[in-house]
Structure 1
């Protein structure tokens, strides 16, 4: 009950429009002052939370993403996907989902994926006869793959908070991410095959066209493959992979695409710093909040409550997923991770719930949050690109929202979908 009241108070404060980091820090500091009578420990708490080697991966992955965006490498990814799928029913939709999946493996950000791919794909889809709401929904939903297909900033933060292998978390997102991408692509085929709208199709690409398209985007395709492959093979850790990926992106943009100089590098670094600073400020605020709830023994009380109620693993997970779903309507994804994880992890470990499996379930639920009104960030991203009515964007999103909910249910029922690859690559139990 104490945690519920604290959570409601936190949501009420954030709904006033206060910045997330300030809300977390001020609310946590106020609770600490009320319960302990002083704020002496805050500087050590914040420094200790930010002084983590793994957090270095966030600005490096952000730099890699911004270099790829500024060099317009995503245009080649989209062109290659379109060349391969243009003869299929809904081929342009499949290409859009493919481009989202590929860019997700570069950017690690859902908003960046929706914004970058959407700017290229939405005008094309409408030109080929897709209803605008279909195009809006497809790109908004495809963009959510950015936080599931590695690298993923939310998974890095989850790994830092729970002391879980980030490499194993990244591997856990691969199969579920591909599964959801295939579901989205399948729905695009069903929509195009219904015959409700005349969607223009092109002839199958010749072998020469396919070779030319793949050759043009070869280095862009190799970047995520080399980063993930290096982690899979044990060549480097997640942080080292981020550094290698950022360096490779700079070299590809500068020497292969030749449209990226020192000015581009400077602006990319500034953008990466802004992104990282925002995340680190939220982490700092959440560290205060997490410290306070730990001092108030809320995680221990949660474990005791689970023991007293004799609640099972499945019932607990369903309750947690419903809580995350509701929070996702009002809070930003990073905030949800930082607020709930320190409280829930002790109870989950008591119930024998694998934290890597839970991280995938949490991330899929956060994908749902990204396209759920009223605060779905990808909805506002599509609005910014197209200036379309919000109601039309939301109507286009609804089928994909149901597909994500169905995917979450499947992943809950079959944990091995998430755990198979981490077990093969990292020997995870």
Structure 2
């Protein structure tokens, strides 16, 4: 009963449109006042979470992404992919998926990937005969790779909450991300046989496109290669990525200006402050539910039901899938992880393995109505139709959610 009251109250607050950090903090305060009569040394708990060195990776990766997005990195990246494989069966779709895959390893955000690649790819795909719904679908699905292929902001947040290794999570996300990209590409090739293809431009054009996009292509190997080789930690990799991005903008693209640095730093500051506030709220909630022994109760309930490891994972993934229809990835991570963590320890579930499963499930949330953030982004950059007929009611809900989300973006727009 306690878990239903806590969970239901938190969901109710989130459904009112209240910011995530406020909902988490208010829920924690209410729990402590009701069960303990005071909030206790909660400030110490908050400071302990906010002082973790690994938290520095979020602003550093965010700044790197901002610096890489400002020049024409995206245009060069898509031109390269289209020049190399645009002439094959379904080549434009495959090129779009390839562009999303590479940019995912730069931005760490599904929303940023869908927005940036979609702006360049959608007009080209429609020009060469892709039906609009398929072009939008490729961008929406390809964009979800942003939170699975490292560096991934939701992965970092999950690592902070669960005390899992960020480096291990990053390495574990590479293979599933590439497998999904290959699956998307195979579908594009299978489904693209009747469409007009771009013509083969010749090896000269291919080499020119590769030379112009080499700076973007080298970003993932530098970051992940350094972590995998033990040259630097995840935090040091983020700092190295920032330095590399600054050098690329200054020397390769010659677009680095004081104004550009200021704009990127300001955007990074906004993202970092929002994340810090959310982590503070999550720390308060984690402290509160620990005080009332809610995680222990969940573990005992699972033990009493006799659920196997597989059954437990299936139930949790089904719950997260349903939550993904209504909440963003950050909220889901911060709500579910503290409650489930003791049970995962009791069942000897590897936190890195579970983290990858969680992120894949959260990818679905990015494109699952009524609150699929990649859908909002694509609608914003295209003249996509409002609602085909048997989904009229569903899409009406989608439009209503989009209207509600048309306010100044919270952290969801930065990390999702």
- The reply to whether TM is greater than 0.5 is yes
* Alpha carbons of structure 1 residues 140 and 390: separation in structure 2 relative to 1, 3 Å: farther
Counterparts of residues 21-420 of structure 1 (less than 5 Å): 21-193=21-193, 195=194, 199-391=195-387
Cα pair 1:11 1:330 within 8 Å, conserved: no
Structure 2 Cα separation of the partners of residues 342 and 138 of structure 1: 34
Secondary structure of residue in 1 paired with 2:134: helix
Structure 2 spans left out of the alignment, 5+ residues: 392-416
Structure 1 Cα separation of the partners of residues 389 and 380 of structure 2: 11
* Alpha carbons of structure 1 residues 280 and 387: separation in structure 2 relative to 1, 3 Å: farther
Structure 2 Cα separation of the partners of residues 266 and 37 of structure 1: 46
Secondary structure of residue in 1 paired with 2:326: coil
| Alignment TM-score, normalising by the size of structure 1 | 0.88
Structure 2 Cα separation of the partners of residues 247 and 56 of structure 1: 15
Structure 2 Cα separation of the partners of residues 184 and 72 of structure 1: 25
Residue by residue over 1:389-425, the C-alpha shift from the partner in whole angstroms, topping out at 9 and shown as x without a partner, is 3436998xxxxxxxxxxxxxxxxxxxxxxxxxxxxxx
Cα pair 2:325 2:370 within 8 Å, conserved: yes
Structure 2 Cα separation of the partners of residues 143 and 45 of structure 1: 36
Return structure 1 stretches of 4+ with deviation > 6 angstroms.
Answer: none
Structure 1 spans left out of the alignment, 5+ residues: 396-429
| Alignment TM-score, normalising by the size of structure 2 | 0.91
* Alpha carbons of structure 1 residues 392 and 212: separation in structure 2 relative to 1, 3 Å: farther
**Which residue is 2:12 aligned to?**
12
* Alpha carbons of structure 1 residues 275 and 392: separation in structure 2 relative to 1, 3 Å: farther
Structure 2 Cα separation of the partners of residues 347 and 391 of structure 1: 42
The count of residues paired between Structure 1 and Structure 2 equals 391
Structure 2 Cα separation of the partners of residues 36 and 275 of structure 1: 34
**Which residue is 1:414 aligned to?**
none
Residue by residue over 1:101-128, the C-alpha shift from the partner in whole angstroms, topping out at 9 and shown as x without a partner, is 1000001011111111111111111111
Secondary structure of residue in 2 paired with 1:391: coil
Secondary structure of residue in 1 paired with 2:201: coil
Q: CA deviation at 1:203?
A: 2.5
Structure 2 Cα separation of the partners of residues 200 and 249 of structure 1: 37
